Amino acid sequence: MEFLFSLPAILIILFQPVLTAFAAYWYDRNPVKWLLIGLLLPFVATIIVLWLPESNRNRVRAVENDELF
């Protein structure tokens, strides 16, 4: 009977870092790093990664006319 009560708690604790990694991937951050941070700080890491601005790492910048010639 105790197993039935502890199973949802264990699943929530293990699901939260995966959710953090998906959020990090969505915001163009390193998901492996955020998965490890999420294992250490499950709910805090999710809040932090959602508050961070999107990364500009893979964005394409518009080219000015002067740069072409």
pLDDT tens readout for residues 13-52: 889 999 999 999 998 899 999 999 999 998 899 999 989 8
User: What per-residue confidence (pLDDT) applies to 67?
Assistant: 65
Angle between helices 2-26 and 31-40 (to 10 degrees): 150
Report CA-CA distances (Å) from 17 to 1, 57, 67.
27, 23, 44
pTM assigned to the model: 0.68
Helices (H) and strands (E) in the chain, counts: 4, 0
Kindly report the number of other CB atoms within 10 A of residue 31's CB atom.
Answer: 19
